[in-house]
Structure 1
Amino acid sequence: MNYSYVTKIKSNLNKVILGKEKEINDLLKGVISGGHILIEDLPGLGKTTLVKALAKSLDLNFSRIQCTPDLLPSDILGVSIYNQHTGEFEFRKGPIFSHILLADELNRTSPKTQSALLEAMEEKQITEWRNSYKLESPFIVIATQNPLEYISTSILPQAQLDRFSIRISLGYPTEESEEEILKMQNNLNPLDEARKVINKSQFFEIIKEVDSISIHEEIIKYIVAIANKTREDNRLLLGVSTRAALTLQKIAKASAYLNEREFVIPEDIKENIFLVFNHRVIPSYSGRNKEEYINEIMKDILNSVAIPKVI
């Protein structure tokens, strides 16, 4: 196992985003499991910087789209243009043809444009008119949204949310970290500290090794039992999908890998269930803080399912 690769990546990212070791670790779980990540946070906390540093660390192609109400699907996917010399239409690729696509403030664009990402996120291809085009692997969508600003925004539908493996939040830095950030950026751009630490083939090696992490049948049953509890709980209008259960299994493998283990343990499920499930469920009661309520429900569900004893 090439554990040293992820150690180098984490070290590189921690130089750029100070004091966010846990959040960076969570981001990497999504990335090395081959998933897409939703970053829900306030402006100015380093989301874009983090994603750029990640692309630089992995030596992957990076594109960024600023989502606005007037953004069209063709602005993301590309468009066919008539060539007068050949008498044929030629497809001009859009920014989606990259390894890492940052969709900044995804909830600011229209549902029609949001839906342009659905096929790409699930099938790693796009369809333009009658033609389909494969996207080069790896293909990772990292989207951001502001959780507090609702003017001129369109709420992401559940079909869209379900395609994001995890949802994370960076949050405000500590006073000590913020002082270090100000000192560091007084003299240089934090991205200057980021460098290429592995290449694309080495990244594929990591993904292959994560896939090879073993998971006991009892832990698979544990995941299924938790997923079923979300569908049966009358405090939830919508429980998680089978895609969510599969994602939890993948994230648990990634978590084991980051902890330098070749097998999944129950703690890998327990510590990641909030990352994977919380943005996928809908509470039946909205008269209180939504996040706190969902956390409370998920904790109750976890406590109601017996932890498997895996030898």
Structure 2
Amino acid sequence: MAQITLLEAVTQALAHELGADPRVVVFGQDVGVNGGVFRATEGLQKTFGPERVLDTPLAETMIAGIAVGMATQGLRPVAEFQFMGFIYPGLDHILNHAARYRNRTRGRLSCPIVYRAPFGGGIHAPEHHSESTEAIFAHIPGLRVVVPSSPARAYGLLLAAIRDPDPVIFLEPKRIYRAAKQEVPDNGEALPLDRCFVLREGTDITLISWGASLKETLEAAEQLAEEGIEAEVIDPATLKPLDIHTVIDSLEKTGRCVVVHEAARFGGLGAEIAAQIGEYAFDLLKAPVQRVTGYDTVMPYYQLENNYLPDTEQVLTAARATMDYPGEGAK
């Protein structure tokens, strides 16, 4: 079986669902003839035709809105925003309509929509192309927020998102679109939403991260192992709703936690995870929860991009400080 990238796994999942379910429609700017700016939809229009894979104008408000209309009338639209930074004109339809239809109609209608968007930094993109604002969507009742971090999880989670009866924000970390390959059988088997994945077992400290930042987090875990510190690494994958139970199970073993994400620090999901740990598992903690994050500033242009993104050394520093708490010489 050939190995594929995360990007190719997205294409594979879309092709599978287009072939398996005639209700699935894929659309967005340049997704048809050109196959998308990153080529995530390459070849799909040729295979399934322009009525199933549609090019749209550069009009994000329209893309978000027609997805709501399609979904409430029995289709399963997969709408692509070319970059996460372009999704904001569509917020009215996403927040006020897609997220509320089930409640507004008392369950008579739902919105089985997947809104796809590449997100995050690390590819030397200009402004409005490197946002990590997943916390905005996680705050909205009625929305699921899903972030894959490997080819296998991209395939399985996207299948699950398309089949879900409610709207899903599916954020694809473009920094790792082509960073690694895996064997991913095209068997149509979805992975569970709303569940964390334990990527590495450990007994000393819990490291939580998602998307592209998992690369540095796993690298830090390997280096900690060389120092005799066994880190458990958790990928939440579904950021909303959060599977806090898996996190608590891990803390019962480790008692220490570091959360890593490239989004800005203030109001980020690391703060929500830390708050839930404090609320539900305070008695398990041997040290305060640490956060390794981006900065509370606009993502800089590519010359300073690497200064913004959390790196392996920052994760190591936070993990060592957590292991050393309350510090040498403290009583």
TM-score under structure 2 normalisation? Answer: 0.39
TM-score under structure 1 normalisation? Answer: 0.40
Tell me which of the two structures has the higher relative contact order, counting C-alpha pairs closer than 8 angstroms and 6 or more residues apart. Answer: 1
Which structure features the higher share of helix residues?
A: 1
